[in-house]
Amino acid sequence: MKSGNYRSFEIPMDLKNTTSNEMVLSDNFAEFLSMTNHTTLKLCGPLDQVIICNLQINKEDDLTAKLVDGWSTFCEVNKIVAGNLLEFKSDGIMQTNVLIVNHI
């Protein structure tokens, strides 16, 4: 990714986020992802392991988005635990379905 040409979103991990099969994303992250046509996301984690997660977006009533089917594997493989603060980073317009995920 080119420096300065990206979007990033910080999400604190709690026990529910790290032990569940899904993770509900923040409102601004959901809004950003809803503008894409992606149904899956490739998460490249802190240990350089890529895990594919399904992206579920609900546009009825309040906009919500969550990562499912792969999220718990991503947490396990990348040793993500409650208390971690994660940064999800993508290119500015999300041309690809790849998100870089780092501990911050």
CB 85 within 8 A of CB 52: no
Q: What is the pLDDT of residues 31-75, one digit of tens each?
A: 999 888 899 999 999 888 899 999 999 988 889 999 999 999 999
pLDDT at 2 over 70: no
Q: Which amino acid is at 5?
A: N
Q: Give the chain's mean pLDDT.
A: 88
What pLDDT, on the 0 to 100 scale, is given for residue 1? 41
Q: How far apart are CA 86 and CA 82, in angstroms?
A: 11
Greater confidence (72 vs 19) lies with 72
**pLDDT for residue 49:** 87
